[in-house]
Amino acid sequence: MAAGMVGLGSTDTAAASFRGVASSGLPQSSVKPDPSKSTFKVAAVQAEPVWFDMDKTVEKTIALMATAAQNGADIIAFPETWLPGYPSFMWFGDKAYRAPFIKRYLNASPVAGGPQHRELEKAAKRLKIHVVLGLSERKGNRMYMGMWVIDDKGKTILKRRKAKPSGREWDIFTSGDGDDFTVVPSKVGRIGALSCNENRRPLARDAMYTQNEQIHVAAWPHFGLLPDVWQMSAITSMESSAQYAGEGGVLTLAPSTIATAPYIASLNLSAADRASLLPGGGSTRIFLPSGEPVSDGPDLAPDVEGIVYATVDRATVVHEQTGYDAKPFKIPANGKRP
């Protein structure tokens, strides 16, 4: 999560760097949206992970997937680094304080292709649901702020990594390559996903929009962290999600995490830091391509676990950019017309 955003260049060359093929080398599917469905039901999670426990969080993930599937959802979205939870501890204390937490967190972070990954794929196939999952992806002794998209056949169709971890995130996470701002086809439309402040970066948004993105997941952590920093607030982050939806004409799911008092107490924060990590912090929303919020039921309170659902017309999700709108929009390096 961002206490500040690092600028990225605005030249044609910089923009092009955001339009690479996924570095995972995954083959591009030719799957088309299901023509037999007149509506799609989407789901966004607001819940607390089992902090520092990979296997129990995988169990909870599958339980939430099952609940969503039983309620008719076609796709479910999870928060930023849901597995094994957003590492709030990294914003506090000195290196000696953070060291034992970092070790636990590394050991609880899943590996691409590992048993937990395969278990999630099998569950998606069994439940016939698409899954967009935020996670801390481990590779050796490095961690990345990853996102996986798994389709309803149990196939991981996208693996990506946050290009620029923000603020204190840099202390434990490695930057992604920045060449995986990729949209993938599925039976529910063309899916894309960005992590936290990536949703605020103009070049990243443009890279997704120009691939005719139709369902977007804007994954957020919990908003009880540093409550006095306005740009890290639920209000600002949901405004960013609504902006993404309306600007790109994309159905946008914005899942978030909650943190309870027992977890916060387990961090053994100093008296000075306790006011900087508050319980609750959930603010999950879904936004129509117009930017309007939409839900099949009432909003969840910030401290309540649950799933937000929205049933939307197929035509609202599946659309093509045609004519004038389909032409790439380019800004010259000097900002002037040639």
Q: How much of the chain is in helix, strand and coil states, percent to nearest 5?
A: 30, 20, 50
Catalytic residue among 48, 80, 137, 198: 80
Helix residue ranges per DSSP H, the chain: 12-17, 54-70, 95-107, 115-127, 202-209, 234-248, 261-266, 314-317
Which residue type occupies 7?
G
φ, ψ for residue 124 (rounded to 5)?
-60, -40
Catalytic residue among 41, 48, 137, 196: 196
**Encoded tokens for 315:** 């035509």
CB 254 within 8 A of CB 285: yes
Active site residue 122: no
φ, ψ for residue 259 (rounded to 5)?
-125, 130
> How far is Cα 255 from Cα 145, in angstroms, rounded to an integer?
15
Catalytic residue among 41, 162, 164, 187: 162
**What's CA 284's distance to the chain center, in Å?**
12
Task: List strands edge to edge, sheet with 215-219.
Answer: 191-195, 215-219, 251-254, 285-287
In sequence order, the β-bridge partners of residue 285 are 254
Going from the C-alpha of 243 to that of each of 66, 177, 198, 227, 236, the distances in angstroms are 31, 26, 13, 22, 10
> How far is Cα 260 from Cα 279, in angstroms, rounded to an integer?
5
Active site residue 162: yes
**Residue numbers annotated as active site:** 80, 162, 196
